[in-house]
Structure 1
Amino acid sequence: MDYYNFDYDYNSSCDDPGDCIFQCDNNDIRALRSNMVYVYSIICVMGMLGNALVIVTFIFYKTLKSMTDIYLLNVAIADIMFVLSIPLLVVNEQYGWILGDLSCKLLKGIYSVNLYSGMLLLACISTDRYIAIVQARRSFKLRATALVYSHVICLVVWLVAVGMSLPTFIFYKTFEYQNITVCETSFLDPQSAVLLKTLMPSAQLGIGFFLPLLIMIFTYSSITCTLLRAKNFQRHKAVRVVMAVVMVFIVCHLPYNIILLMYTVNKFRTDLDCNVEQNKTRALIYTECLAYLHCCLNPILYAFIGVTFRNNFLKIFQDLGCMSKKYISGSSTPRFTTEGFTSKKSSEVFDADNAVV
């Protein structure tokens, strides 16, 4: 049975879409990918350390007492599984795939699942903070059952991520290309190749980026307006944290998704220019690294920036004998703000764990 891969099969003539790039001299692209291995390695190590510390802190030093804690733990799990897949993806690009067809499907599928789940969980965190602050009066009575809701929501997020990743599990296969075994998408006919090579990145753009982005812009804009109206001297610090979260998300992911959109739209054109296509490929490689960097920044933005969480983190080093107790603050100050946030709509006081991010 013949299988088709859009990128690898249509290379006999520039009359077919996507061919010209393979008739160009790609030595510079290969050299760039080889050099980026060092960047991927740094991202992998940083992502592993940061997210592993978050998970260890939750397991041994901090109870899961809020919806945000549940979401943060799930984000750390998604991020750490994501960075674990990076080394094998790099090996596949550099040397070909040596681990068999099943592992090819599993690796690419797990990569996709954690990409979707990580982004959707960040949207869940922003929505939870919106409800806790902007809808403080209405949500106060529901906080007692919040942990139950958060577990259900996380389960739904993971199921949605698996569902969105089913095409990856199904269509990624190993096949021979220029005497090298590669792990890429393969299809039974050219029509399927064209359709799914369009739908898969489109779904990633829509569900994996633009949907979380729109949710975060709406929720954090509302949170910022509410904080600025509150009579709390720590509000400006909280606003800066909110702005940092949104800006880092945009800076890390927007360039890659714009290039991915251009790459997808132009994939089926026949009037391709080698220089233009190579420049887009370079841009895709650079912006992909920038997007990967976000999983290293999540522990800082969502966890370690808080005093309570940071103290629990430092206790790990104290218990390991690497740090004196004097470096750990005795303050019981909650995450992201040093005092509770009092809603103008209600007289109840929310700590920052239930206020910002």
Structure 2
Amino acid sequence: MLNLLEESTTFRLGDLYDDYEVMAPCTMNTSHQVELAVGAYLHSIICILGLVGNALVIATFAGYKRTRSVTDVFLLNVAVSDLLFVAALPLIIYSEHWAWPLGGASCKLLRAAYSVNLYSGMLLLACVSADRYASVVHARRSLGRRSLLSCRLLCGLVWVLAVTLSLPTVLFYQRYRPAHSMPQDETERFPSNDSSEAGYVCDFQFPDENLAQTMKVVVPGLQMAVGFFLPLLIMLFCYAGVLRTLLGARSFQRHRAIRLVLLVVALFVACHLPYNATLLYETLHKFTLSSCGEADALQATKSATKGVAYLHCCLNPALYAFAGASFRSHFKKMVGDLFYMGGRLGSSRHRSRDTSNMYVSSRRSGASNASSFTM
């Protein structure tokens, strides 16, 4: 509903009123159908796979990777960022399509969590590519420099930068009731029942028009520059150097490593490039007039490509963590231990049940013997 209400177009009724410009909301039927389909199916898949996959990565690193490497620390932070992102995603989708029933503080907190994890996840993937570049291309020189302390400091810097970039979200996201949804009747405007939350949204709200125009360019510009183009450039540079080194190496695992590098880059571009290209087009045409059909098609494209971009947080565990032989061995050990513990628990319950049955049987036999003796 929010997208339907916030997208509007200016058109002139030339045949009827030559001197008036009328603002009217677009119907946005196509984008509404796309958003319903993406929300019902794609976002559900993203939430389920993202929660399960990243939770398994965190559990494996937390319990079975006690001697962590620099790469492990980066991957653990990526998994935490993705897990928090998919955990906030259902509420984000709800706030974009329906009224926001919670308070203003929760609105700011939710949007801040979304923004922080978006920035941190992308920047941490760039750190992973830089770490792989250092470990493959400059293996000897990087031995003394790739310390756990420097890695943790870099991860902390990434989180601080993500929080800083999310400050506009914290400052300008508000829970408010748009003017077009305000009730016309005074008894409706001040209802006696305080539980009525219809019409309230969680969205950007600015004190003046000039600031609104500036921030509506700055916020998506930062998201594209820091959240996509900068990580993409770092990944292309680093993985290009990794590929050159792998192509010159003589190893039976060379081809598998090359395929993995190409897959990582290809999926990153395939997931994030369509949405950022759509966001760039929308930002460049933010203040130009467009027809309802064009606005509807743009919003539908943005919704579909955004869902594809979100899909990347489900692929990160398979691309980064489960691709490593060391992680897979620890994960198999964790699963084996869980099955072993489950089997022991089941067998202990079975033994306790048998013991209880034997105890009841012995009590019954003892009672029978006692009764025969007293008779």
2:241 pairs with 1:240: no
Superposition deviation, residue 151 in structure 1: 0.5
1:312 to 330, 336, 340: 330
Taking structure 1 as the reference length, the TM-score comes to 0.83
2:51 pairs with 1:51: no
1:187 to 203, 206, 214: 206
Q: Deviations over 1:164-214 (max 9, x none)?
A: 000000000011132511100000001111100000000000011000000
Q: Partner amino acid for 1:189?
A: D
Change (3 A) 1:21 1:116: farther
Matches within 5 A, 1:1-357: 13-14=10-11, 23-38=25-40, 39-143=42-146, 146-177=147-178, 178=181, 180-270=199-289, 272-321=290-339
Q: Deviations over 1:143-177 (max 9, x none)?
A: 4xx10000100000000000000000000001113
Aligned alpha-carbon RMSD (Å): 2.5
Q: Partner amino acid for 1:171?
A: F
Tell me, what secondary structure is at the counterpart of 1:246? Answer: helix
Superposition deviation, residue 316 in structure 1: 2.9
Q: Partner amino acid for 1:256?
A: Y
Q: Deviations over 1:253-289 (max 9, x none)?
A: 001000010011111102x122122111111111101
Q: Partner amino acid for 1:215?
A: I
Task: Structure 2 unaligned segments of length 5 or more: list them.
Answer: 13-20, 183-198, 344-375
Whole-angstrom CA distance in 1 between matches of 2:244 and 2:23: 49
Tell me, what secondary structure is at the counterpart of 1:184? Answer: strand
> Quick check: 55-64 or 201-210, which moved more?
55-64
Superposition deviation, residue 111 in structure 1: 0.3
Whole-angstrom CA distance in 2 between matches of 1:223 and 1:189: 49
Superposition deviation, residue 63 in structure 1: 2.3
Tell me, what secondary structure is at the counterpart of 1:173? Answer: strand
Q: Partner amino acid for 1:95?
A: W
- Is the 1:175–1:182 contact (alpha carbons within 8 Å) kept by the matching residues of 2? yes
Whole-angstrom CA distance in 1 between matches of 2:215 and 2:263: 36
Q: Partner amino acid for 2:253?
A: Q
Whole-angstrom CA distance in 1 between matches of 2:34 and 2:217: 26
Whole-angstrom CA distance in 1 between matches of 2:23 and 2:70: 48
Q: Partner amino acid for 1:132?
A: S
Tell me, what secondary structure is at the counterpart of 1:257? Answer: helix
Superposition deviation, residue 64 in structure 1: 4.8
Change (3 A) 1:195 1:97: same
Tell me, what secondary structure is at the counterpart of 2:36? Answer: helix
Task: Structure 1 unaligned segments of length 5 or more: list them.
Answer: 326-357
Superposition deviation, residue 29 in structure 1: 2.3
- Partner of 1:336 in structure 2? none
Equivalent residue pairs, number: 315
- Is the 1:20–1:273 contact (alpha carbons within 8 Å) kept by the matching residues of 2? no
Change (3 A) 1:49 1:322: farther
Whole-angstrom CA distance in 2 between matches of 1:64 and 1:285: 42
Q: Partner amino acid for 1:124?
A: C
Change (3 A) 1:184 1:226: same
Structure number with greater Rg is 2
Deviating above 3 A after TM superposition, structure 1's stretches of 4 or more consecutive aligned residues are 5-15, 19-22, 322-325
Whole-angstrom CA distance in 1 between matches of 2:22 and 2:84: 36
- Is the 1:58–1:64 contact (alpha carbons within 8 Å) kept by the matching residues of 2? no
Whole-angstrom CA distance in 2 between matches of 1:128 and 1:222: 12
Q: Partner amino acid for 2:322?
A: F
- Is the 2:133–2:238 contact (alpha carbons within 8 Å) kept by the matching residues of 1? yes
Q: Partner amino acid for 2:84?
A: M
- Is the 1:20–1:274 contact (alpha carbons within 8 Å) kept by the matching residues of 2? no
Q: Deviations over 1:240-262 (max 9, x none)?
A: 11111111100000010000100
Tell me, what secondary structure is at the counterpart of 2:143? Answer: helix
